């Protein structure tokens, strides 16, 4: 049973409970999101596997729950290793945003801590993803504009909630 901290919108911890219960009750809990954006404006996205909630759609390469009592940096390092196999990387906090949605019969009320992550290491994706794709800035912009259905709702949300980073 995975435990998460229930938090206030400012991130202050209130108490802990199971992730399943937090989703059932729609309570706010933290997640880390890792965006890979090169200095040249390129973007890396992964396509979700069929057993994931955004199946077949592109999402940011890293995203996951912060475990109860875990600090954000440790959660980011754990998720980066699990999802793309990087052991050494640099990161900067882009912003903190609340993402509240109904999906697959439960309410995900997440406090997203969004990071830009960079490394020279190759991607090694896990079973959550079926494809990793690096897009130039023009390719990314065109695909997002011309075929927005290829991107999962959380990807669109992060993109729109933090426009100063993605401009």
Q: What is the pLDDT of residues 108-136, one digit of tens each?
A: 999 999 999 999 899 898 998 999 999 99
Q: Is the dihedral of CA 153, 65, 74, 48 positive or negative?
A: negative
Residue 97's beta-bridge partner residues? 112
Q: List C-alpha distances in Å: 109 to 7, 39, 78, 93, 131.
A: 10, 32, 21, 20, 27
> What is the per-residue pLDDT across 65-121, written as a single tens digit (0 to 9) for each?
999 999 999 999 999 999 999 999 999 999 999 999 988 778 899 999 999 999 989
pTM of the model: 0.94
Place of tokens 């990071």: 115
Q: Quickly name the fold that domain 3-166 has.
A: Nucleoside Triphosphate Pyrophosphohydrolase (3.90.79)
């Amino acid at each position: 049973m995975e435990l998460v901290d229930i938090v206030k919108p400012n991130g202050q911890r209130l108490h802990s409970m199971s992730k399943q219960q937090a989703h059932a009750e729609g309570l706010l809990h933290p997640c880390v999101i890792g965006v890979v954006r090169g200095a040249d404006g390129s973007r890396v996205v992964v396509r979700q596997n069929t057993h994931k909630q955004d199946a077949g759609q592109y999402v940011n390469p890293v995203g996951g729950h912060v475990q109860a009592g875990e600090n954000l940096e440790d959660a980011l390092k754990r998720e980066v290793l699990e999802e793309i196999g990087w052991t050494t990387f640099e990161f900067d906090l882009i912003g903190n945003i609340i993402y509240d949605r109904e999906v697959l019969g439960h309410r995900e009320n997440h406090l997203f801590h969004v990071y830009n992550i960079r490394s020279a290491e190759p991607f090694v994706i896990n079973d959550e993803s079926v494809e990793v794709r690096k897009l130039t800035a023009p390719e990314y912009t065109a695909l997002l504009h011309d075929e927005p259905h290829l991107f999962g709702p959380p990807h669109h949300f992060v993109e729109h909630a933090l426009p100063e980073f993605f401009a």
